[in-house]
Structure 1
């Protein structure tokens, strides 16, 4: 059960922090993304919103600045990184997601029809996934 103080309205609202969820809920979110934005009760995300989310949106002018954080093999959609080349054997260009700084990571590979989430709450120490996160997603794609 969540600490009740975590459920209080923050002074500054940000989609980048303070989000609470469970692995089961995030797995349902992955299913929604893999189903093109449709959930069990109907469409939740318009197809165009999902396209904007999951496609590299970096301009040629912005790309050199982004490489410092993302590296040369990742682009940026609307709030998520997008693979510009396969990151693991079995993964595909267009896989999208993000590593959170506290050891959380969620990625969806629409071409492979898979997605996965890991919730460790162990800081990664940088913008790329820690070794254990990279090992996790390597195993996911080796399935």
Structure 2
């Protein structure tokens, strides 16, 4: 079985030449959508997404609280909306931007988000990691 690669190019859809991806890449795409979506963005799935965007502009959240809230929200979302994974473990580490990353002076922090689990149908290990840049967080 093949899965659609996102973003979907509508011109390709018309010609029947949609890009496809692997099972594992499809899972990774779903996790990334959960990370970048805010609650209420997907009609009919009000709790689809993560708390990141609710916390992004909060100046009063401690770093450890931010990490814990994001980790908890992503764990719940992945367990609910990504049924192809078992034994999901989410890690979130918020850190300062390195000197070489300071091309955009408005970005102050980055969140390293890592998801580990097992693919339900094969039992194979699954690993996904991404960086999300956070702008106005001051603590």
TM tier, smaller: 0.3 to 0.5
Q: Greater share of strand residues, 1 or 2?
A: 2
TM-score between the two structures when normalised by the length of structure 1 = 0.33
TM-score between the two structures when normalised by the length of structure 2 = 0.33
